[in-house]
Amino acid sequence: MDRSVAIIRRQIQHLVRLVDDFWTCRGSPAARWSCGRERLDLVEIVRNAVETIRPLAEAKPLSLRLDLSLRR
């Protein structure tokens, strides 16, 4: 549990730095950023995230199951 919390905290710090960097660049006159809305394929994003961590899970050995069926 302690290791998981440490990983989550570290990832939060990475995200905070990323957002800070974005806003720093955004304020720069040379920056050519554009912000806007776009459709995202959440199923594909989740699938990619799971496939990224799958080798770590299987090395434990842990079973990793992904169910992307929609329930309404």
Burial 6-39 (b: 16+ CB within 10 A, else e): eeeeeeeeeeeeeeeeeeeeeeeeeeeeeeeeee
What's the rounded Cα separation, in Å, for the pair 40 and 34?
Answer: 17
pLDDT < 50 stretches in the chain: none
Output phi, psi for 30, to 5 deg: -85, -10
- The model's pLDDT over 45-62, given as tens digits with 9 standing for 90+, comes to 888 888 888 888 888 888
Output the pLDDT for position 35: 63
Q: For the whole model, what pTM was predicted?
A: 0.45
Output the pLDDT for position 28: 62
